[in-house]
Amino acid sequence: MLKRALSGLFLLAFLLAAAPALAIVHGKPVTETDDYAHAVVGLALTDADGLPGECTGTLLTPRIVLTAAHCVKDMKSVGVVFDFKIDGARTLPVSRIFIHPDFATTEGKLSAGDIAILFLPPHDDRTATIPLDADTSFAEGQQFTAVGFGRSIATSFKSSGVMRKAGMVATGNRTAADVALTPTGDAWPCSGDSGGPVLRKDMSGRYAIAGVMSGVYSGPIGECLTGAFMVPIEDYARWIADTVAAEGSSLAAK
C-alpha cells in the first residue's frame, strides 16, 4: 500500500529523513551554471533525541529562508548550509523560526500550512534570491523544476546531502493542502527534499517559487515512489510577506 511520506525524522511521515534527508532520486547535480544554484540552501537538523536530519530551503533574501514547517517544527537545532553539499559544510545557526499557524503535525498525512520562514544572523556567504511566483494556476501539464538535498537512491538514506534537480509536471490534482506533481523523466523528489523550491519559469525565462516541496509517496520498504506534493505558494504569499515585513525586511521583487 502506498503511503504519503512527509518527513523522515518521523520515518515515513514527512520528506525529512531519519539520518540524512531526502534528495532528488536519479537527479542531476546542481552546478554554478544553474540560475538557482546559490538561492537554494541545505538545512542541517537535530531532533529532540539528538538524531540528525536534512531538509532544503530557498532564500527569499540573503538572511531569510523559506522551507516546510514539518522540517523545523520541534527541532533541537536548525542550521543552514550555503553549499552544494551538506556533509562537512559549515552551518549557520538559525536565529528565528516562524511556522504557519495552520500547520498541524499528523504522521503520514499532509497538512495545510506546511510553510516556515527562517531568519538568519548576518553572514558573508554567497547568495542569490528567487521571488515568489505571481502565477496562480496549476493546470495539468504545467512544468516545474524541483531542487533539493534528498536521496539520489530511492532506498538509501546515505545517498542524500547533495543538491540535485528534477523536472516535474502538475497532474491537475489541486486540494486545499497541496498540488500533486509527477516526474517528467526518471528523477523525482525523496526524503530530504522537503522544504525545497518547486520553480516555474515565466515568459522571460526567469525562475519564481511556485511551491514548497511537502510530501511524496513511499513504498512498503520506505522507498520513495514517483508521486510528490507541493504547498502552492499562492495560498501563503500574504502570510509570507507580512511575516517578513514584521521583521523589518522585504521580499525580492520579480
- pLDDT tens across 63-88, in order? 999 999 999 999 999 999 999 988 87
What helix, strand, coil percent values describe the chain, rounded to 5?
10, 40, 55
Record the cell numbers describing residue 248, joined without a space: 523589518
Name the residue with cell 512544468. 143
Nearest partner of 37 among 25, 28, 26, 49, judged by Cα: 28
CB 17 within 8 A of CB 6: no
Please give the average per-residue pLDDT across 118-143, as a whole number: 93
Grid cell 530551503 is found at: 57
**pLDDT (tens digit, 9 = 90+) per residue, 131-183?**
999 888 888 999 999 999 976 555 555 656 789 998 999 998 888 778 999 98
* pTM beyond 0.85: yes
pLDDT band at 217 (very low <50, low <70, confident <90, very high): confident
Q: How far apart are CA 194 and CA 216, in angstroms?
A: 9
Please report the DSSP string for 173-232 in residue order. Answer: EE-SS-EEEEESSS-B--TT-TT-EEEEE-TTS-EEEEEEEEEEEE-TTS-EEEEEEEEE
Chain center to CA of 152? 15
Percent of residues, the chain, with pLDDT higher than 70 = 82
Which residue type is seen at 124?
A: D
Contacts made by residues 27-32, CB under 8 angstroms, sequence distance 24+: 27/152, 27/164, 27/165, 27/166, 27/187, 28/164, 28/165, 28/166, 28/187, 29/84, 29/162, 29/163, 29/164, 29/165, 30/84, 30/147, 30/163, 30/164, 30/165, 31/84
Q: Report pLDDT digits (tens) over 191-211.
A: 788 999 999 998 788 999 999
